[in-house]
Amino acid sequence: MTRAFHDITYAAPLSPPLETQATIAPDPGDWRLFVFHGTPANRYLYTRFLRTAPRGIEVVLPARLGFGKGHEAAVPSFDDQLAALKPFLPGGDFGDKKIITLGVSYGGELALKAALDFPEAVAGAVAVSALIDEPHDYALQLEKLGGDARFEDYVPNRWKKVRAEIAGRRAQIGPLLARLKSYEGPIEVIHGDFDGIVPKANSEKLYDALSEASRGVLDIVPGGTHYLELQYPRRVYDAVQRVMTRALASEGALA
C-alpha cells in the first residue's frame, strides 16, 4: 500500500512573509522528515519517494523559496531558505514532531545548516548527493555560459535563479563546514558512484568534515545516479532510519 500525499500553501516567515507551497505525506507518528531538494526545484521527481515513505514518518517536501508559485527572484541566503522549515518546527503552525532534515544536492547544505541552527528541534540530518564543493566541470561550464552577456536575453529566468543559488552558496559553504566539526548530532551521507552532476568526492569531503560523534555511514551506492531519491528511495529511507535510531539512542544515554 502506497502513501497518499497532498499540497498545501503556507507563509514562510520572511520580511515580508512569502507565500509558498509544500507537498505533505501525512502520518500520525512521532517523526517528521523535512526534505530540501536540489536546484532547480522539481517536486515531481519525489513522487516515488513520497509514496514509499515508511509508516511513522510524516514527509514534508517544500517548494524551494524562489521557485514556488509567484516567486519572482532567487533566495540565495541559507538563512532565508531555512524560513521554509520554521512553521514545521515544534511550536509552529503544523504541530510538534521530532524532525530529521534531508537534503539532496544543493539542498544538502540546507539540511545540514538546519541541524546546526535548530539543534533542539532537529534530531539529525541526511545528505544525499550533496553539493558540498563543486559540480562536474561540464556543469560549471554551463553555469558560466548562462552568465555570458551575449546570451543573457535568451536565458530563462528559472536558470538565472539556479545560477544565483549556485554562486551564492560558495561564500556560505566554508563557514558551514567549519561549524560541522563541533556538531555531535547524527549525520548520514549517501552518494551514487555514477553521479553525472555532483562528483562523489563532494560527499567524501563532507564526511571528512564531520566530527567523530556525528559521523555515521558513508554510503557510496554502486551505479547510483544523482537522483537516488528517485532511483533507490528505500535506501535513502534506510539512512533516515539510521539517524532516527542514533538520535533515540543518544536520548536514552542522556536520560
pLDDT digits (tens, 9 = 90+) for 151-183: 565 556 777 888 888 888 999 999 999 999 999
Q: Hunting for cell 539510521 — which residue is that? A: 242
**What's the pLDDT at 255?**
44
Q: pTM for the complete prediction?
A: 0.93
**What's the pLDDT at 150?**
62
Which CATH number is 6-250 given? 3.40.50.1820
Answer yes or no: is pLDDT of 198 > 60: yes
Residues in the chain: 255
Answer yes or no: is pLDDT of 202 > 60: yes
Domain ranges of the chain: 6-250
Output the average pLDDT for the chain: 91
Higher local confidence (pLDDT), 253 or 252? 252
